[in-house]
Structure 1
């Protein structure tokens, strides 16, 4: 494991697309997770944004994010399929190998796991001709799927080689998920790991969960769950996961700093995470930076 395994999510960085790409490269990162809005909202338009990304030399690890997709019927389902097709085309244009899908929060969505698996299988089929994989992530406030083992169970039920599970440390920590269950997920079926932490041991209400998730995350090594994060990364590594790690850190304070400063924090965090894997049998090191 080295710096090539890590990248930032553009949601973590202030500024426009160009400054985010530059900061990422300057800090030594070769990959970056993009949001569709980074591209479609670029002042020069989508084609210019795609050209900028491709000329930057930064490898795009995936596109965020398909929301409230699974478990729908009728016109709602058809509408979401149309949105998904558009996002898949954006993935193809920018060379992103992965479309991320987060579990539905919609009150109109069915909780039937067979229905959810069927919808995910359909999306995975749509992505095959484009050479894109689909990753399914459990939001900790998802209506029916809100634990990572639930997301794995429906991915396993869908039984599609083009579909995998996304592991997000924030949602696991926020839901006080059991890390031992990670050992049951084959590393080859995990398509992305998203890392972040937060500054308090427990989240006490749904409102605090959303506030923390959207505004107050921090990099691994900066928060209160260093032991859990170390255990998580070691388990994933031991289980055979050798894919990408993305720092998905929603933090309003970071957005008031320069992109270079935030990117340097991310670089130190990557070093911290790597140390946890290399120091397998040792006591968890205290956070190394503030």
Structure 2
């Protein structure tokens, strides 16, 4: 493989949520496919039959770099005992991320009916969260879910991150939410690329998801890897736009897919690797293939 392509492929990693089975098997399949990094979900760690310490050691032994740790939900905009409860949850998430060597903790915008839409209150809460992570050298990536109650697009996430004004607080960008809501990419021009801490990529198999419920169902069950769905052009545009802006961070494939949960791990990881190669050769090398022309692994 050409050194430039190899470097570009190294920018991409898998997410454990895509794969079925025990943590060790997931790590082995991802490494065997060619990846050098992994995005970890909390359930893989706390649900390990040997306990958290064994899970942490398995991650270390894998040789994979930890892209980040997910996910803290419904943190911002709460008050009283609900806020206090979420602060305690956040502390534990930070400690787990630190134990795993994760440098990024992903937090998703709140869907709670109890959360306020006051942007100053949201910014204050995110600042508190980021301050909890500072002693551990962890950055917090705040991502707007497309069905978020008050924050549901990436430019809104950026607005509250700017208001919070904390050195280790930035945003996470998920291509699924941008494509599902057909959000224009123009607002990316206003974002400091150094404040984009993580980019998650996925495609899906139909053209439109009109309601919040449809977006949730598709997001949680029917995502596919970049190049496998019908939105290759939009994903290409997003990755090229981020690259032109100067983003040089990690890309992780966040693919929730019920079918992939029933298939052998090497097969699924192999498809993910083909997607990474397509992005490295076809997108970051500036030779952009037509949508649907990604070379998939033959079995």
Verify: 1:216 aligned to 2:214, yes or no: no
Q: Give the whole-Å Cα distance in 1 for the aligned partners of 2:291 and 2:76.
A: 40
* Residue of 146, 150, 153 corresponding to 1:144: 150
Structure 2 residue 80 is the aligned partner of structure 1 residue 78 = no
Are the structure 2 counterparts of residues 75 and 227 from structure 1 closer, same or farther at C-alpha, using a change threshold of 3 Å?
same
In 2, distance between residues paired with 1:270 and 1:283? 14
TM-score (norm 1): 0.97
Structure 2: state its 5+ residue gaps: 1-6
Unaligned runs of 5+ in 1: none
Task: Choose from 181, 185, 191 the match for 1:179.
Answer: 185
2:30 and 2:292 map into 1 onto residues whose CA distance is 26
2:68–2:102 Cα contact (<8 Å) kept:
yes
Aligned to 1:45: 51
8 A contact 1:113–1:154 mirrored in 2: yes
Q: Which of 94, 116, 121 is the aligned partner of 2:122?
A: 116
Task: Choose from 278, 284, 287 the match for 2:285.
Answer: 278
> How far did residue 283 of structure 1 move?
6.1
User: 2 CA distance for matches of 1:28 and 1:192?
Assistant: 20
Partner secondary structure for residue 151 of structure 2: coil
Q: How far is 1:187 from its partner?
A: 1.0
Aligned to 2:134: 128
Shift of residue 141, structure 1, vs aligned partner: 0.2
Deviation at 1:206, TM superposition (A): 2.6
Deviation sequence 1:214-247 (CA, Å, 0-9, x none): 0000000011111111010001001110000000
- 2:39 aligns with one of 24, 27, 33: 33
2-structure distance, mates of 1:228, 1:285: 9
Give the structure 2 partner of residue 198 of structure 1: 204
1:67 aligns with 2:62: no
Aligned-pair CA distance for 1:2: 1.6
Alignment of 1:161-172 (within 5 A): 161-172=167-178
Determine the structure 2 residue equivalent to 1:24.
Answer: 30
User: Is the CA contact 2:231–2:291 (under 8 Å) kept in the aligned structure 1?
Assistant: no
Distance in 2 between the 1:12 and 1:111 partners? 32
Query: Following TM superposition, by how much is the alpha carbon of 1:287 offset from its aligned partner in structure 2, in angstroms?
Result: 3.0
Q: How many pairs are equivalent? A: 289
SS of equivalent residue, structure 1 residue 278: coil
> Contact 1:36 / 1:65 at 8 angstroms: preserved in 2?
yes
SS at match of 2:229: coil
Residue aligning to 2:4: none
Offset of 1:211 from its aligned partner? 1.2
